[in-house]
Amino acid sequence: MDTVCNQTVPTIGPHGIATASAKEAVLVANSASFLLDRLRKDISVRYVIENMRLSDIVRTLKSGLDSVPNDPAALVSLYVYLVALSATDPSDRETWKQIEMLDLSGLEWGNVIRKLIAADAVPTTTLEFTLPSTSQS
């Protein structure tokens, strides 16, 4: 899959990931939890989750963090990639290590969003068992 980034509209293949609703969420966010909630519902995050491997998302985010843009609208794609990492399987320790190593200091809400994502990532196990019947004859 081709990942193409230019300064005006970050794209994945032919599709832009900086949707109008994602831009609005980033520009009007008054808290990290608000931004996380809004972006989780955005089609751009869904698109990234469905079309990129988690390792590619981490790599693309890390690359974008190397030169964080000053323009708030240009930050949208970085937040989209970060929120897409919320789809990481809680038992995937290798990916979580990579997520923890990201320097998110260039994003106003970056570290807090990472903490919120990690707090929500609770591994669960479902056990299925059947009780023996206790019928009396």
The pTM assigned to this predicted structure is: 0.77
Give CA separation, 38 vs 32, 65, 83, 90, in Å. Answer: 10, 21, 10, 22
pLDDT tens digit at each of 137 positions of the chain: 444 444 444 555 445 577 888 989 988 889 999 999 999 999 999 999 999 999 999 999 999 898 888 877 678 999 999 999 999 888 888 989 999 999 999 999 999 999 999 988 655 555 676 777 776 65
**Chain-centre distance of CA 11, in angstroms?**
16
